[in-house]
Amino acid sequence: MKSKKTIPNYRDYLNLDSLLKSQKLISEKRGKKAHDEMLFIISHQVYELWFKQVLYEIDSIFEIFEIELIDESQIGIAVSRLHRINEIIQLLIDQIKILETMTPMDFLEFRDLLTPASGFQSGQFRLIENKIGLLSNDRHNYGGKDYKDKIHEDEVDNIKDSENSESLFTLVENWLERTPFLLSEDYNFWEQYKSAVSKMILNDKKIIEKNKSLNDSEKESYFNQYNATEKMFNSLFNESVFSKMIDKGQFRLSYKATHAALLILLYRDQAILHNPYRLLSKLIDLDELLTTWRYKHHLLATRMIGKKIGTGGSVGATYLKKALTKHRVFEDLSSLTTFLIPRSDLPNLPKSLLRNMSFHYDTAED
Protein backbone atom coordinates (compact mmCIF):
# COMPACT_ATOMS: atom_id res chain seq x y z
CA MET A 1 0.00 0.00 0.00
CA LYS A 2 1.22 3.51 -0.82
CA SER A 3 2.24 5.55 2.16
CA LYS A 4 0.26 8.74 2.73
CA LYS A 5 3.38 10.80 2.21
CA THR A 6 3.57 9.89 -1.50
CA ILE A 7 0.07 11.24 -2.22
CA PRO A 8 0.60 14.78 -3.40
CA ASN A 9 -1.69 17.54 -2.28
CA TYR A 10 -3.67 19.69 -4.76
CA ARG A 11 -0.96 22.32 -5.12
CA ASP A 12 1.80 19.77 -5.76
CA TYR A 13 -0.26 17.57 -8.06
CA LEU A 14 -1.08 20.51 -10.31
CA ASN A 15 2.37 22.00 -10.02
CA LEU A 16 0.71 25.26 -9.09
CA ASP A 17 3.84 26.67 -7.59
CA SER A 18 5.52 27.07 -10.94
CA LEU A 19 2.26 27.61 -12.89
CA LEU A 20 1.17 30.55 -10.76
CA LYS A 21 4.60 32.11 -10.80
CA SER A 22 4.67 32.12 -14.59
CA GLN A 23 2.98 35.48 -15.13
CA LYS A 24 5.80 37.97 -15.39
CA LEU A 25 4.66 41.40 -16.48
CA ILE A 26 7.22 42.97 -18.77
CA SER A 27 5.71 46.42 -18.05
CA GLU A 28 6.35 45.93 -14.34
CA LYS A 29 9.95 44.92 -15.04
CA ARG A 30 10.38 48.11 -17.05
CA GLY A 31 9.14 50.13 -14.07
CA LYS A 32 5.59 51.06 -15.14
CA LYS A 33 3.08 48.29 -14.49
CA ALA A 34 0.26 48.12 -17.06
CA HIS A 35 -2.76 46.64 -15.27
CA ASP A 36 -4.15 44.74 -18.31
CA GLU A 37 -0.94 42.93 -19.11
CA MET A 38 -1.86 40.26 -16.55
CA LEU A 39 -5.04 39.46 -18.50
CA PHE A 40 -3.06 39.40 -21.74
CA ILE A 41 -0.52 36.91 -20.38
CA ILE A 42 -3.06 34.64 -18.68
CA SER A 43 -5.24 34.58 -21.81
CA HIS A 44 -2.32 33.41 -23.95
CA GLN A 45 -1.20 30.88 -21.37
CA VAL A 46 -4.61 29.22 -21.12
CA TYR A 47 -4.73 29.11 -24.92
CA GLU A 48 -1.43 27.26 -24.95
CA LEU A 49 -2.67 24.82 -22.29
CA TRP A 50 -5.77 24.06 -24.35
CA PHE A 51 -3.59 23.74 -27.48
CA LYS A 52 -1.64 21.09 -25.59
CA GLN A 53 -4.85 19.18 -24.86
CA VAL A 54 -5.96 19.48 -28.50
CA LEU A 55 -2.62 18.04 -29.68
CA TYR A 56 -2.93 15.24 -27.15
CA GLU A 57 -6.35 14.32 -28.56
CA ILE A 58 -5.19 14.60 -32.18
CA ASP A 59 -2.27 12.26 -31.47
CA SER A 60 -4.68 9.72 -29.96
CA ILE A 61 -6.87 9.91 -33.09
CA PHE A 62 -3.74 9.32 -35.21
CA GLU A 63 -3.14 6.07 -33.32
CA ILE A 64 -6.63 4.90 -34.25
CA PHE A 65 -6.28 5.70 -37.95
CA GLU A 66 -2.76 4.42 -38.34
CA ILE A 67 -4.09 0.86 -38.09
CA GLU A 68 -5.01 -0.73 -41.44
CA LEU A 69 -8.18 -2.51 -40.24
CA ILE A 70 -10.00 -0.15 -37.93
CA ASP A 71 -12.52 -1.66 -35.56
CA GLU A 72 -15.93 0.05 -35.75
CA SER A 73 -15.87 0.89 -32.02
CA GLN A 74 -12.62 2.78 -32.58
CA ILE A 75 -14.39 5.12 -34.99
CA GLY A 76 -16.80 5.92 -32.15
CA ILE A 77 -13.81 6.80 -29.96
CA ALA A 78 -12.33 9.00 -32.70
CA VAL A 79 -15.69 10.77 -33.01
CA SER A 80 -15.85 11.48 -29.27
CA ARG A 81 -12.25 12.77 -29.22
CA LEU A 82 -13.04 15.06 -32.17
CA HIS A 83 -16.12 16.22 -30.33
CA ARG A 84 -13.92 17.12 -27.35
CA ILE A 85 -11.50 19.03 -29.59
CA ASN A 86 -14.40 20.95 -31.09
CA GLU A 87 -15.77 21.86 -27.66
CA ILE A 88 -12.32 23.16 -26.67
CA ILE A 89 -12.10 25.30 -29.80
CA GLN A 90 -15.59 26.64 -29.10
CA LEU A 91 -14.29 27.66 -25.66
CA LEU A 92 -11.28 29.32 -27.29
CA ILE A 93 -13.67 31.32 -29.47
CA ASP A 94 -15.79 32.37 -26.47
CA GLN A 95 -12.69 33.29 -24.52
CA ILE A 96 -11.90 36.11 -26.95
CA LYS A 97 -14.71 38.07 -25.24
CA ILE A 98 -12.67 38.24 -22.05
CA LEU A 99 -9.69 39.73 -23.86
CA GLU A 100 -12.03 42.23 -25.48
CA THR A 101 -12.70 43.74 -22.05
CA MET A 102 -9.25 45.29 -22.49
CA THR A 103 -9.55 48.55 -24.43
CA PRO A 104 -7.16 49.40 -27.29
CA MET A 105 -5.68 52.20 -25.17
CA ASP A 106 -5.06 49.85 -22.25
CA PHE A 107 -3.29 47.55 -24.72
CA LEU A 108 -1.16 50.42 -26.00
CA GLU A 109 0.22 50.82 -22.46
CA PHE A 110 2.35 47.71 -22.99
CA ARG A 111 2.00 46.62 -26.64
CA ASP A 112 5.29 48.09 -27.87
CA LEU A 113 7.17 46.20 -25.17
CA LEU A 114 6.08 42.91 -26.75
CA THR A 115 7.74 43.39 -30.16
CA PRO A 116 8.75 41.05 -31.84
CA ALA A 117 6.77 38.47 -29.80
CA SER A 118 3.46 37.43 -31.38
CA GLY A 119 0.95 34.55 -31.40
CA PHE A 120 2.34 34.01 -34.90
CA GLN A 121 5.25 32.29 -33.17
CA SER A 122 3.05 29.76 -31.35
CA GLY A 123 4.69 26.41 -32.12
CA GLN A 124 1.72 24.48 -30.75
CA PHE A 125 -0.70 26.37 -33.01
CA ARG A 126 1.46 25.49 -36.04
CA LEU A 127 1.56 21.86 -34.92
CA ILE A 128 -2.23 21.78 -34.70
CA GLU A 129 -2.51 23.24 -38.21
CA ASN A 130 -0.01 20.78 -39.68
CA LYS A 131 -1.39 17.75 -37.87
CA ILE A 132 -4.89 18.56 -39.07
CA GLY A 133 -3.53 18.73 -42.61
CA LEU A 134 -2.73 22.29 -43.62
CA LEU A 135 -0.07 22.07 -46.35
CA SER A 136 2.92 24.43 -46.41
CA ASN A 137 2.13 25.34 -50.02
CA ASP A 138 -1.41 26.32 -49.08
CA ARG A 139 -0.27 28.77 -46.42
CA HIS A 140 -0.60 32.49 -46.87
CA ASN A 141 3.01 33.55 -46.31
CA TYR A 142 3.63 37.13 -45.46
CA GLY A 143 6.54 38.87 -47.12
CA GLY A 144 7.35 35.57 -48.92
CA LYS A 145 8.82 34.24 -45.67
CA ASP A 146 8.49 30.72 -44.29
CA TYR A 147 6.38 30.73 -41.09
CA LYS A 148 9.03 28.50 -39.47
CA ASP A 149 11.54 31.39 -39.56
CA LYS A 150 9.60 32.86 -36.64
CA ILE A 151 9.43 29.68 -34.58
CA HIS A 152 11.64 29.15 -31.54
CA GLU A 153 14.65 26.99 -32.47
CA ASP A 154 13.67 24.34 -29.89
CA GLU A 155 10.38 23.74 -31.71
CA VAL A 156 11.45 23.83 -35.37
CA ASP A 157 12.39 20.14 -35.76
CA ASN A 158 9.10 18.99 -34.32
CA ILE A 159 7.20 21.28 -36.66
CA LYS A 160 9.22 20.12 -39.68
CA ASP A 161 8.36 16.53 -38.74
CA SER A 162 4.68 17.37 -38.64
CA GLU A 163 4.94 18.86 -42.14
CA ASN A 164 6.33 15.61 -43.51
CA SER A 165 4.14 13.14 -41.61
CA GLU A 166 0.63 11.84 -42.06
CA SER A 167 -2.08 14.28 -41.04
CA LEU A 168 -5.69 13.89 -39.99
CA PHE A 169 -6.56 14.73 -43.59
CA THR A 170 -4.36 12.03 -45.17
CA LEU A 171 -5.30 9.40 -42.59
CA VAL A 172 -9.01 10.01 -43.07
CA GLU A 173 -8.51 10.07 -46.84
CA ASN A 174 -6.79 6.66 -46.72
CA TRP A 175 -9.51 5.29 -44.48
CA LEU A 176 -12.20 6.57 -46.88
CA GLU A 177 -10.42 4.95 -49.81
CA ARG A 178 -10.69 1.62 -48.02
CA THR A 179 -14.47 1.95 -47.51
CA PRO A 180 -16.27 -1.21 -48.60
CA PHE A 181 -19.76 -1.16 -50.18
CA LEU A 182 -18.76 0.95 -53.20
CA LEU A 183 -18.59 -2.01 -55.52
CA SER A 184 -19.92 -5.52 -55.06
CA GLU A 185 -21.19 -8.35 -57.28
CA ASP A 186 -24.68 -6.93 -57.53
CA TYR A 187 -24.07 -3.27 -56.79
CA ASN A 188 -22.06 -0.44 -58.28
CA PHE A 189 -22.67 2.65 -56.14
CA TRP A 190 -21.26 5.08 -58.65
CA GLU A 191 -23.35 3.86 -61.61
CA GLN A 192 -26.52 3.88 -59.51
CA TYR A 193 -25.83 7.34 -58.17
CA LYS A 194 -25.04 8.67 -61.65
CA SER A 195 -28.38 7.51 -63.07
CA ALA A 196 -30.24 8.94 -60.03
CA VAL A 197 -28.55 12.29 -60.67
CA SER A 198 -29.46 12.24 -64.40
CA LYS A 199 -33.08 11.50 -63.46
CA MET A 200 -33.07 14.33 -60.91
CA ILE A 201 -31.63 16.82 -63.41
CA LEU A 202 -34.10 15.76 -66.13
CA ASN A 203 -36.95 16.14 -63.67
CA ASP A 204 -35.82 19.57 -62.53
CA LYS A 205 -35.51 20.70 -66.15
CA LYS A 206 -39.08 19.53 -66.83
CA ILE A 207 -40.30 21.53 -63.83
CA ILE A 208 -38.66 24.67 -65.23
CA GLU A 209 -40.05 23.94 -68.72
CA LYS A 210 -43.59 23.53 -67.42
CA ASN A 211 -43.52 26.52 -65.08
CA LYS A 212 -46.09 28.93 -66.55
CA SER A 213 -45.05 31.83 -64.35
CA LEU A 214 -41.65 32.02 -66.10
CA ASN A 215 -41.21 33.83 -69.41
CA ASP A 216 -38.80 32.55 -72.10
CA SER A 217 -35.83 34.63 -71.03
CA GLU A 218 -36.30 33.67 -67.38
CA LYS A 219 -36.47 30.01 -68.41
CA GLU A 220 -33.29 30.43 -70.42
CA SER A 221 -31.51 31.91 -67.44
CA TYR A 222 -32.66 28.98 -65.26
CA PHE A 223 -31.46 26.51 -67.89
CA ASN A 224 -28.07 28.22 -68.05
CA GLN A 225 -27.76 27.88 -64.31
CA TYR A 226 -28.74 24.27 -64.63
CA ASN A 227 -26.04 23.65 -67.21
CA ALA A 228 -23.54 24.88 -64.65
CA THR A 229 -24.91 22.37 -62.11
CA GLU A 230 -24.66 19.59 -64.70
CA LYS A 231 -21.06 20.59 -65.39
CA MET A 232 -20.27 20.29 -61.71
CA PHE A 233 -21.74 16.81 -61.57
CA ASN A 234 -19.84 15.85 -64.73
CA SER A 235 -16.57 16.83 -63.11
CA LEU A 236 -17.44 14.42 -60.33
CA PHE A 237 -18.23 11.62 -62.78
CA ASN A 238 -15.15 12.01 -64.94
CA GLU A 239 -11.90 11.01 -63.29
CA SER A 240 -9.65 12.96 -65.67
CA VAL A 241 -11.69 16.17 -65.20
CA PHE A 242 -11.58 15.56 -61.46
CA SER A 243 -7.79 15.06 -61.52
CA LYS A 244 -7.41 18.38 -63.32
CA MET A 245 -9.41 20.04 -60.55
CA ILE A 246 -7.03 18.50 -58.02
CA ASP A 247 -3.99 19.70 -60.02
CA LYS A 248 -5.40 23.22 -60.10
CA GLY A 249 -5.94 23.12 -56.33
CA GLN A 250 -9.73 23.35 -56.68
CA PHE A 251 -10.18 20.07 -54.84
CA ARG A 252 -7.91 18.06 -52.58
CA LEU A 253 -9.67 14.85 -51.55
CA SER A 254 -8.84 11.94 -53.91
CA TYR A 255 -11.41 10.65 -56.43
CA LYS A 256 -11.89 7.39 -54.56
CA ALA A 257 -12.15 9.02 -51.14
CA THR A 258 -14.67 11.51 -52.53
CA HIS A 259 -16.86 8.64 -53.74
CA ALA A 260 -16.72 6.99 -50.34
CA ALA A 261 -17.50 10.25 -48.53
CA LEU A 262 -20.52 10.76 -50.77
CA LEU A 263 -21.73 7.23 -50.13
CA ILE A 264 -21.48 7.88 -46.39
CA LEU A 265 -23.30 11.21 -46.64
CA LEU A 266 -26.06 9.79 -48.82
CA TYR A 267 -26.64 6.54 -46.92
CA ARG A 268 -25.97 7.94 -43.43
CA ASP A 269 -29.21 6.35 -42.16
CA GLN A 270 -27.76 2.86 -42.55
CA ALA A 271 -26.62 1.64 -39.13
CA ILE A 272 -23.06 0.86 -40.16
CA LEU A 273 -22.56 4.32 -41.64
CA HIS A 274 -23.72 6.24 -38.56
CA ASN A 275 -20.28 6.61 -37.01
CA PRO A 276 -18.48 7.34 -40.31
CA TYR A 277 -21.12 10.02 -40.96
CA ARG A 278 -20.62 11.51 -37.48
CA LEU A 279 -16.87 11.48 -38.07
CA LEU A 280 -17.18 13.44 -41.32
CA SER A 281 -19.57 15.89 -39.64
CA LYS A 282 -17.13 16.46 -36.77
CA LEU A 283 -14.32 17.16 -39.26
CA ILE A 284 -16.52 19.71 -41.01
CA ASP A 285 -17.31 21.25 -37.60
CA LEU A 286 -13.59 21.34 -36.75
CA ASP A 287 -12.81 23.23 -39.95
CA GLU A 288 -15.67 25.68 -39.34
CA LEU A 289 -14.74 26.24 -35.70
CA LEU A 290 -11.10 26.97 -36.54
CA THR A 291 -12.25 29.36 -39.26
CA THR A 292 -14.55 31.03 -36.76
CA TRP A 293 -11.68 31.35 -34.27
CA ARG A 294 -9.51 32.90 -36.98
CA TYR A 295 -12.31 35.30 -37.88
CA LYS A 296 -12.93 36.36 -34.27
CA HIS A 297 -9.19 36.73 -33.72
CA HIS A 298 -8.99 38.88 -36.86
CA LEU A 299 -11.81 41.08 -35.50
CA LEU A 300 -10.04 41.28 -32.13
CA ALA A 301 -6.80 42.35 -33.82
CA THR A 302 -8.65 44.95 -35.92
CA ARG A 303 -10.39 46.30 -32.82
CA MET A 304 -7.13 46.47 -30.85
CA ILE A 305 -4.62 47.72 -33.42
CA GLY A 306 -6.66 48.91 -36.42
CA LYS A 307 -4.44 48.94 -39.48
CA LYS A 308 -1.13 48.94 -37.60
CA ILE A 309 1.37 46.20 -38.36
CA GLY A 310 1.47 43.21 -35.98
CA THR A 311 4.10 42.85 -33.26
CA GLY A 312 5.26 39.77 -35.20
CA GLY A 313 5.93 42.00 -38.22
CA SER A 314 3.04 41.02 -40.51
CA VAL A 315 0.67 43.52 -42.08
CA GLY A 316 -1.55 42.71 -39.11
CA ALA A 317 -5.30 42.30 -39.55
CA THR A 318 -5.03 42.04 -43.37
CA TYR A 319 -2.73 39.02 -43.04
CA LEU A 320 -5.13 37.40 -40.58
CA LYS A 321 -8.08 37.90 -42.95
CA LYS A 322 -6.25 36.24 -45.85
CA ALA A 323 -5.11 33.33 -43.66
CA LEU A 324 -8.64 32.65 -42.47
CA THR A 325 -9.96 31.98 -45.97
CA LYS A 326 -6.86 30.12 -47.17
CA HIS A 327 -6.11 27.90 -44.19
CA ARG A 328 -9.07 25.54 -44.47
CA VAL A 329 -8.47 21.81 -44.57
CA PHE A 330 -11.79 19.98 -44.80
CA GLU A 331 -13.61 22.37 -47.15
CA ASP A 332 -14.01 19.54 -49.69
CA LEU A 333 -16.14 17.62 -47.24
CA SER A 334 -18.50 20.52 -46.63
CA SER A 335 -18.75 21.28 -50.35
CA LEU A 336 -19.89 17.71 -51.03
CA THR A 337 -23.38 18.83 -50.06
CA THR A 338 -23.51 20.22 -53.63
CA PHE A 339 -23.88 16.62 -54.76
CA LEU A 340 -26.54 15.43 -52.35
CA ILE A 341 -29.84 14.33 -53.80
CA PRO A 342 -33.25 14.03 -52.11
CA ARG A 343 -33.71 10.90 -49.98
CA SER A 344 -36.67 9.94 -52.16
CA ASP A 345 -34.39 9.80 -55.24
CA LEU A 346 -31.73 7.63 -53.60
CA PRO A 347 -31.25 4.32 -55.43
CA ASN A 348 -32.44 1.35 -53.38
CA LEU A 349 -29.64 -0.78 -52.06
CA PRO A 350 -29.71 -4.51 -52.82
CA LYS A 351 -30.89 -6.73 -49.95
CA SER A 352 -27.50 -8.36 -49.49
CA LEU A 353 -25.86 -4.97 -49.05
CA LEU A 354 -28.59 -3.71 -46.72
CA ARG A 355 -28.01 -6.74 -44.54
CA ASN A 356 -24.28 -6.04 -44.42
CA MET A 357 -24.93 -2.44 -43.51
CA SER A 358 -27.33 -3.16 -40.67
CA PHE A 359 -26.72 -4.50 -37.19
CA HIS A 360 -28.47 -7.87 -37.17
CA TYR A 361 -28.77 -10.81 -34.87
CA ASP A 362 -28.43 -14.24 -36.45
CA THR A 363 -30.49 -16.95 -34.75
CA ALA A 364 -29.48 -20.60 -35.11
CA GLU A 365 -32.38 -21.10 -37.62
CA ASP A 366 -31.08 -18.38 -39.97
**320 near ligand HEM, rule: CB under 6 A:** yes
**47 near ligand HEM, rule: CB under 6 A:** yes
Considering the complex, state which of residue 134 and residue 257 has its C-beta at the smaller distance from ligand HEM.
134
Stretch that binds ligand HEM, among 70-78, 176-184, 240-248, 294-302 (CB under 6 A): 294-302
Give the distance from CA 309 to its chain's centroid: 28
DSSP element (H, E) containing 184: strand 183-184
Cα separation, 26 vs 198, whole angstroms: 66
| Binding to ligand HEM in span 153-212, by CB under 6 A | none
**99 near ligand HEM, rule: CB under 6 A:** yes
- The single residue among 313, 335, 341, 356 that binds ligand HEM, judged by CB under 6 A, is 313
**328 near ligand HEM, rule: CB under 6 A:** no
Question: Residue 183: beta bridge partners?
Answer: 188
Cα separation, 6 vs 165, whole angstroms: 40
Shortest reach from residue 251's CB to ligand HEM, in Å: 23
Dihedral, CA atoms, 82, 330, 156, 38, nearest 10 degrees?
-60
Give the distance from CA 99 to its chain's centroid: 24
**Residue at 105: amino acid letter:** M
Q: What are the helix (H) ranges across the chain?
A: 10-13, 16-19, 26-29, 37-65, 72-99, 104-114, 123-132, 153-164, 168-177, 189-210, 216-237, 239-247, 255-266, 274-305, 317-326, 331-335, 351-357
The number of residues that bind ligand HEM (CB under 6 A) is 24
Question: Residue 187: beta bridge partners?
Answer: 184
Shortest reach from residue 316's CB to ligand HEM, in Å: 4
| Binding to ligand HEM in span 106-125, by CB under 6 A | 107, 118-120, 122, 125
- The single residue among 26, 200, 214, 300 that binds ligand HEM, judged by CB under 6 A, is 300
Shortest reach from residue 353's CB to ligand HEM, in Å: 44
Question: Residue 188: beta bridge partners?
Answer: 183
Stretch that binds ligand HEM, among 215-223, 224-232, 252-260, 316-324 (CB under 6 A): 316-324
**323 near ligand HEM, rule: CB under 6 A:** yes
Considering the complex, state which of residue 93 and residue 246 has its C-beta at the smaller distance from ligand HEM.
93
Binding site for ligand HEM (CB under 6 A): 43-44, 47, 99, 107, 118-120, 122, 125, 297, 300-301, 304-305, 310-314, 316, 319-320, 323
